[in-house]
């Protein structure tokens, strides 16, 4: 049976008092004996406390003192806690060493940053790719070492959903993909990967598409001209009228695809931001509405909803191309009894241009891939309407050059809404004179 520590102290204190009182009675001074016994008991406890404190100050590097009673129990508890702490400490150290060894062996670079974007640690691959110099760079802000404007904007905007491609600063035609991953209490993890091969393949693809599109433009112009001449020839066999009409339609479709490819190539070949020219969005909306109503087949209602007189700062040709693609898509996929709404408004976040239709809608699994080149939800329906499959890719690149984003909200069978979001710095009040 075990007893609590206070019970032992009470029994020993009572025993010491009894012995002191008995010796005092024998000596004729009972109270002096009792006081002396109690003083001795307190002195013994103080001595035990002193030995325990001395051992604790030595961080348990010396053998544990041999104490009895509650003091011995306390020493045993401290020893157990210390051994448990040492076990967990060694375990954490082993895990940390294993983590560092595995991170150092990774083919990608890893840089650990604090909330102020200062470097805390990096592996050998990051040092090789980024040109870091070891411990001398620890504590520096990462944008002081990676000074490319693309990365500086990426770090400051805190939009880390996708990586940024930068040119290596240590020489050579090397391209690096850098993506920042937030974790913990505001800390950041920068993952660095060499994408030189992918970048070169992408450049070759862009050059091939641009050159092929440019070379196809002249032959298609000649073919379209001859087909139009043949279709207008009065003595042509009537049985050839249908095939000629289909050939003209396909030639026009190919011409549209080549035109879109050239436009997309021009957008991809330029890394600079779009110029800031004032664009009258209201007039542009009215023009787009007239274009839709001028079609032989068009939705029954094409409405304009203007909620702001602010102008948009950008390149008018590109903005017109992006907005026209959205309006054309809405008109192509909306039945004759449906409606299309074109809306422009501003708020604290910036300017917003949306196109809403009551067409066939888009299944949710297709929405994330709509801005890919030639991606079609319904290939047969898209070809029937004459679409090139490049319109939304052009919209995405135009918005990127203007610092904007495209959002898509659609329900299958009920229609879709495509919204272009522009930052506040891309807006200009109508009352302000153009610079």
Q: What is the pLDDT of residue 143?
A: 87
- Kindly report, residue by residue over 108-139, the tens digit of the pLDDT: 888 889 989 899 888 888 888 888 887 788 88
Structure confidence at residue 280 as a pLDDT band (50, 70, 90): very high
Nearest-angstrom CA–CA distance, 178 and 161: 11
**C-alpha 427: how far from chain center:** 25
For residue 374, the surrounding DSSP H or E stretch is none
3-state helix, strand, coil in the chain (%, to 5): 55, 20, 30
- DSSP-derived letter for residue 224 is H
Mean pLDDT (whole number) for 137-151? 87
Nearest-angstrom CA–CA distance, 324 and 392: 11
Check residues 395 and 185 and name the one with the higher pLDDT: 395
3-state secondary structure (DSSP) of residue 92: helix
For residue 236, the surrounding DSSP H or E stretch is none
Q: Where are the alpha helices (DSSP H) in 105-195?
A: 124-130, 149-157
Mean pLDDT over each residue of the chain, to the nearest integer: 80
Nearest-angstrom CA–CA distance, 402 and 337: 35
Mean pLDDT (whole number) for 341-367? 91
Whether pLDDT at 379 is above 60: no
Structure confidence at residue 434 as a pLDDT band (50, 70, 90): very low
Cα-atom radius of gyration of the chain, to the nearest Å? 40
- DSSP-derived letter for residue 65 is P
Cβ–Cβ under 8 Å, residues 357 and 409: no
Tell me which residue of 341, 342, 325, 327 sits closest to 282, measured CA to CA.
342
Nearest-angstrom CA–CA distance, 286 and 354: 14
Mean pLDDT (whole number) for 345-358? 93
Q: What is the pTM of this model?
A: 0.54
The DSSP result for 323-364, as a single string, is: HHHHHHHHHHTS-TT-EEEEEEEEETTEEEEEEEE-SS---G
- DSSP-derived letter for residue 118 is B
CB neighbourhood size of 193 (10 A)? 17
Tell me which residue of 347, 434, 355 sits closest to 391, measured CA to CA.
355
Q: What is the pLDDT of residue 420?
A: 95
Residue recorded with tokens 């910036």? 350
End-to-end CA distance of the chain: 94
- Kindly report, residue by residue over 221-242, the tens digit of the pLDDT: 888 887 888 777 777 777 777 7
- Kindly report, residue by residue over 63-99, the tens digit of the pLDDT: 777 676 677 777 778 778 888 888 888 888 888 777 7
Contacts with 74 (C-beta within 8 Å, 6 or more apart), sequence order: 5, 52, 67
Q: What is the pLDDT of residue 387?
A: 57
Tokens representing 385 are 């309407």
Structure confidence at residue 430 as a pLDDT band (50, 70, 90): low
Task: Give percent above pLDDT 70 in the chain.
Answer: 83
3-state secondary structure (DSSP) of residue 195: coil
Q: What are phi and psi of 352, to 5 degrees?
A: -140, 130
Nearest-angstrom CA–CA distance, 85 and 77: 12
Nearest-angstrom CA–CA distance, 168 and 126: 12
Tell me which residue of 319, 306, 307, 308 sits closest to 279, measured CA to CA.
319
Q: What angle, 0 to 180 degrees and rounded to 10, lies between the N-to-C axes of helices 5-27 and 30-57?
A: 140
Nearest-angstrom CA–CA distance, 363 and 371: 15
Of 35-44, 107-116, 162-171, the poorest mean pLDDT is in 35-44
């Amino acid at each position: 049976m075990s007893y609590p520590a206070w019970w032992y102290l009470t029994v020993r204190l009572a025993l010491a008092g009894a012995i002191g009182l008995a010796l005092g009675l024998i000596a004729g001074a009972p109270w002096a004996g009792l006081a002396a016994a109690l003083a001795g008991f307190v002195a013994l406890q103080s001595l035990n406390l002193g030995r325990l404190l001395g051992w604790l100050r030595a961080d348990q590097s010396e053998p544990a003192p041999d104490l009895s009673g509650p003091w011995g129990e306390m020493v045993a508890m401290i020893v157990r806690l210390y051994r448990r702490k040492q076990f967990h400490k060694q375990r954490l150290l082993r895990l940390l060493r294993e983590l560092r060894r595995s991170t150092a062996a990774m083919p990608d670079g890893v840089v650990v940053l604090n909330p102020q974007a200062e470097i805390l640690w990096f592996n050998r691959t990051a040092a090789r790719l980024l040109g870091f110099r070891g411990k001398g760079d620890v504590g520096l802000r990462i944008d002081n070492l990676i000074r490319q404007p693309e990365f500086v904007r990426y770090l400051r905007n805190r939009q880390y959903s996708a990586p940024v491609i930068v040119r290596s600063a240590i020489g050579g035609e090397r391209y690096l993909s850098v993506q920042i991953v937030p974790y913990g209490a505001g800390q950041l993890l920068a993952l660095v990967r060499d994408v030189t091969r992918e970048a070169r393949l992408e450049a070759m693809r862009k050059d091939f598409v641009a050159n092929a599109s440019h070379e196809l433009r002249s032959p298609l112009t000649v073919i379209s001209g001859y087909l139009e001449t043949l279709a207008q020839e009065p003595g042509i066999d009537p049985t050839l009228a249908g095939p000629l009409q289909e050939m003209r339609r396909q030639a026009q479709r190919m011409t549209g695809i080549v035109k879109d490819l050239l436009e997309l190539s021009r957008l991809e070949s330029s890394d600079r931001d779009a110029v800031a020219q004032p664009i009258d969005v209201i007039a542009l909306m009215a023009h787009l509405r007239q274009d839709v109503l001028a079609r032989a087949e068009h939705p029954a209602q094409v409405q304009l909803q203007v909620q702001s007189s602010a102008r948009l700062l950008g390149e008018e040709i590109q903005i017109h191309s992006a907005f026209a693609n959205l309006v054309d898509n809405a008109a192509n996929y909306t039945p004759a009894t449906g409606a299309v709404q074109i809306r422009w408004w501003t708020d604290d976040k910036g300017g917003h241009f949306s196109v809403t239709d009551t067409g066939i809608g888009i299944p949710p699994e297709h929405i994330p891939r709509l801005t890919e080149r030639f991606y079609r939800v319904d290939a047969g329906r898209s070809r029937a309407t004459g679409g090139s499959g490049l319109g939304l890719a052009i919209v995405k690149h135009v918005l990127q050059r203007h610092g904007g984003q495209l959002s898509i909200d659609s329900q299958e069978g009920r229609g879709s809404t495509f919204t272009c979001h522009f930052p506040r710095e891309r807006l200009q009040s109508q009352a302000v004179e153009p610079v």
